[in-house]
């Protein structure tokens, strides 16, 4: 079977969130670089290091059966020729339960590997609740 190629970091990110929403382990595995230096931190979880540890945890999460809908907002992108970082708010809706009360802040890092891009880091944590009168951050920004 041919390895999936993600021509841009945005393609890799779209595939990541599609795999997350569908609980699709094989699609999730296709997004991650095969490297002992990849890292993943789920909200409230320990840092996982290495593709095997990261994918083992995704498999456990998907086996739990909970399905999510994810709408991204407040995206900030820092891009270079070989590495790109996306900082996003993940606005989650839990199937059968409704919207999560607060978004999750995630940092996704993509590395150019051969002809395409792969995820090398995903770090997600609960967003702080804005204080009264505090304005929301700008919806999107791209830095080059």
Give the per-residue pLDDT at 144: 40
> Which of 44, 7, 141 lies closest to 86 in space, CA to CA?
141
Q: Say what the pLDDT of residue 142 is.
A: 44
Q: Which residue has the higher pLDDT, 13 or 101?
A: 13
Q: Return the pLDDT at 139.
A: 52
What's the pLDDT score for residue 128? Answer: 84
Q: Which whole-number Å values give the CA distances from 135 to 72, 88, 124, 132, in the listed order?
A: 18, 17, 22, 9
Per-residue model confidence as pLDDT tens digits over 67-124? 889 999 999 999 999 999 999 999 999 888 888 888 999 999 999 998 899 999 999 9
- Mean pLDDT over 30-35 rounds to 96
Distance CA 48, CA 70 (A): 22
Residue 133 has pLDDT above 60, yes or no: no
Helix (H), strand (E), coil (C) string for the chain: CCCCCCCCHHHHHHHHHHHHHHCCHHHHHHHECCCCCCEEECCCCCEEECHHHHHHHHHHHHHCCCCEEEEEEEEEEEECCCEEEEEEEEEEEECCCEECCCCEEEEEEEEEECCEEEEEEEEEEECCCCCCCCCCCCCEEEEC
Query: Are 125 and 43 contacting, i.e. CB atoms less than 8 angstroms apart?
Result: yes
> What are the structural domains, with CATH classification, of the chain?
9-126 (3.10.450.50)
Query: How do residues 66-83 score in pLDDT, each as one tens digit?
Result: 888 999 999 999 999 999
Residue 77 CA to residue 12 CA, distance in Å, equals 14
Q: How far apart are CA 23 and CA 69, in angstroms?
A: 11
Q: Is the pLDDT of residue 137 over 80?
A: no
pTM score over 0.85: yes
Does residue 140 carry a pLDDT above 50?
A: no
């Amino acid at each position: 079977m041919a390895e999936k190629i993600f021509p841009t970091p945005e393609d890799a990110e779209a595939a990541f969130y599609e795999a997350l929403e569908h609980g699709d382990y094989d699609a999730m595995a296709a997004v991650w670089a095969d490297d002992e230096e990849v890292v993943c931190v789920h909200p409230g979880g320990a840092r996982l290091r290495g593709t095997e540890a990261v994918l083992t945890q995704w498999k456990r999460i998907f086996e739990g059966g909970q399905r999510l809908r994810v709408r991204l907002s407040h995206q900030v992108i820092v891009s270079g020729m070989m590495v790109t970082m996306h900082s996003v708010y993940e606005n989650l809706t839990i199937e059968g339960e409704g919207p999560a009360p607060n978004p999750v802040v995630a940092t996704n890092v993509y590395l150019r590997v051969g002809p395409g891009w792969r995820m090398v880091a995903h770090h997600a944590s609960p967003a702080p609740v804005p204080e009264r009168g505090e304005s929301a951050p700008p919806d999107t920004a791209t830095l080059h």
